[in-house]
Structure 1
């Protein structure tokens, strides 16, 4: 019995001593091949380590996709795809969705020989609250996904990458560019593309013309931030409506191919009324938090591509254009793509031009500059 106890104790101690090395940011935990992928593509469901802004280790998930062909003599070019809003509940992870391959615009680049690294972000597919529109936490998970992909032999991913995102992912892409050099000096960022990116968060949550979408996204943000940081919603909604906000966030994933349930519709209408005259920029601590997690045009390096539809009802075109002008004022080279489709088609509508632009960045070509048009 004494020997058995000693053996059990030794096992426990060995497990407890493992995390310091095993939880290193960017370390791959597992990569499980996906059997059913589009023609010419191979993919893996990956789990890897990242860190929160506070330095806490987090095990997170995503998908890595690559051409289904022989490993090339040189590492493949990498695109980090940063997805738009799918929700804030664990079940809303893109990697868990049967629609992942059809919904991910960056996968068009596989035929050009790219590896596409598609992180879920913390809390989507992993057991923690998702930091919705929280810049540093999201950017860390993107950069660590690129690192982790390099440990998958069949992917043959290199250390040079572009980041491309849509909607919430546009915000993630811009934050990834902002922090890449300091957080991941072992990686080389060649360019950043953002389709319909939220940049000034309070304005984005206030100025989109689709009031129902605004209410749902605000519910995601309020639930995420109040859960993670203990922010009280008392200045925004009464206790009953706070419960509705929580249920909307916990029970709903964004789905473009399904009509919302009647309970979701009624909940959204209630929050529309409850927040009609509320500006979170003027309500603390939300005001300070939205400013801290907005994108600072002065800190985003070039070259940069922004695609924005003038008919976008969720990310107000005027807010994006204001950000683009601020970027140009800093002397950053900017490719501006003006579109006319709806918000959900932003990345698809600009896909061909974006992939071509990314290819030119990898080739070392001089970046175009459309600042004079703005």
Structure 2
């Protein structure tokens, strides 16, 4: 899923490892080779302490989605930031707490406030310590900095269950759309210098989240929305799981999505989805983030990873189908970007998303890029967000400038 700003390196066995967050000693909980040990070391080096700020009140008294619970000036990042804890909703409508960070450019805001880019991040893991706001590099803060340098504020939700207490239902499109909108609302309450106008940017898991938000905008519009940048979206979860289960090095995505399905629907039978060997390693996801999970599962594929008929497990099948995006009309415009060399979300998958969205009447500008991978692995390959960033920034500027967006739909 998104991911994985530095996380898919291990998944792709490209020779680079990733950054995330973790708990000391967890490496001993499951068999952990040198890849795994290195992933733990890098995770810990990038980790910020999870303080009581992330613990919501108990009980959590109901409040409208986006209501601010608390905020604090955050340190430890390369840029000044404000952390927020706010009320969100899970896919069942239950009140849950979620965390986010808000970054603003240096200097005096323009009249009307800083224009806002909301960053829907890719898969980082499912444990509390896997929140991007608990990573020194904010998971992909270098890309956020490109927006800051252009005069945009960035609102970056962690998603419920990452950072704040609870379970992260990775892949649940309704829950993550709620988190994105709640983060935006709470950001405006915590940083008054933000403009009401906003553009959404999402990659991989976050790309699917962005499409979910764009679907929602047709029914329950959030004011000020100008469009979405969607890169390599993990839109069709059945395709994603099927692909990951058969590709060496990508197996870690399968238990993460399966665990996300279980978090959303307790009726999901994980023992009918994952093999005993894969189930035994699932404990690592409690504290190990994507890099660690990728390393632990990198040798598992096919029948060593998943049970025969795993896609027919009723709860899992329902979750995958219900949370597929890119099949309904979306509020536009949408800039949809895909790297030809992407080995996590393949071009064929995103070609299908583009064609389907065009058939729904959505306004989509679909662009593909030779040689770009899912993410950047320094010294190895360049990912879609980094490689296409000039186009992303130009398109974003056009939206705030009031220009009409182009479409590749005939």
Q: Which range, TM-score by smaller chain?
A: 0.7 to 0.9
- How many residues are aligned here? 345
Partner residue of 2:362? Answer: 332
**d(CA) in 1 for partners of 2:309, 2:201:** 30
In the TM superposition, what is the alpha-carbon distance from 1:102 to its structure 2 partner?
4.9
**d(CA) in 2 for partners of 1:18, 1:166:** 31
Listed as ranges, the gaps of 5+ residues in structure 1 are 1-14
Listed as ranges, the gaps of 5+ residues in structure 2 are 1-56, 376-382
Question: Runs of 4 or more off by more than 6 Å in structure 1?
Answer: 15-18
Of residues 65, 75, 81, the one that matches 1:25 is 65
Q: Which has the higher contact order (CA 8 A, sep 6+)?
A: 2
**d(CA) in 2 for partners of 1:235, 1:124:** 26
**d(CA) in 1 for partners of 2:336, 2:296:** 35
Q: Name which one, 1 or 2, has greater alpha-carbon Rg.
A: 1
Partner residue of 2:409? Answer: 371
Structure with the higher fraction of residues in helix conformation: 1
**Could you tell me whether the CA contact under 8 Å between 1:206 and 1:279 is conserved in 2?**
no
Q: CA RMSD in A?
A: 2.6
Partner residue of 2:258? Answer: 222
Three-state SS of the structure 2 residue aligned to 1:298 is: coil
Q: 1:145 to 1:199 in 2, by over 3 A?
A: same
Q: Which moved more, 1:334-343 or 1:214-223?
A: 334-343
**d(CA) in 1 for partners of 2:298, 2:173:** 26
Deviation digits for residues 232-263 of structure 1, max 9, x if unmatched? 1232234453222x2242242124xxxx59xx
Of residues 263, 267, 280, the one that matches 1:243 is 280
Deviation digits for residues 300-345 of structure 1, max 9, x if unmatched? 2221111111111111210110110111223322222212222112
**Could you tell me whether the CA contact under 8 Å between 1:64 and 1:118 is conserved in 2?**
yes
**d(CA) in 2 for partners of 1:208, 1:103:** 26
Of residues 308, 315, 322, the one that matches 2:345 is 315
Q: TM-score, normalised by structure 2?
A: 0.77
**Could you tell me whether the CA contact under 8 Å between 1:79 and 1:106 is conserved in 2?**
no
Q: Which moved more, 1:210-219 or 1:130-139?
A: 210-219
The within-5 A match list for 1:1-374 is: 19-20=61-62, 23-35=63-75, 37-38=77-78, 42-100=80-138, 102-103=140-141, 105-153=143-191, 156-183=193-220, 185-207=221-243, 211-230=247-266, 231-244=268-281, 246-255=282-291, 265=295, 267-270=297-300, 272-275=302-305, 278=308, 280-339=310-369, 340-344=371-375, 345-371=383-409
**d(CA) in 2 for partners of 1:107, 1:92:** 21
Q: 1:265 to 1:75 in 2, by over 3 A?
A: closer
Partner residue of 1:7? Answer: none
Partner residue of 1:4? Answer: none
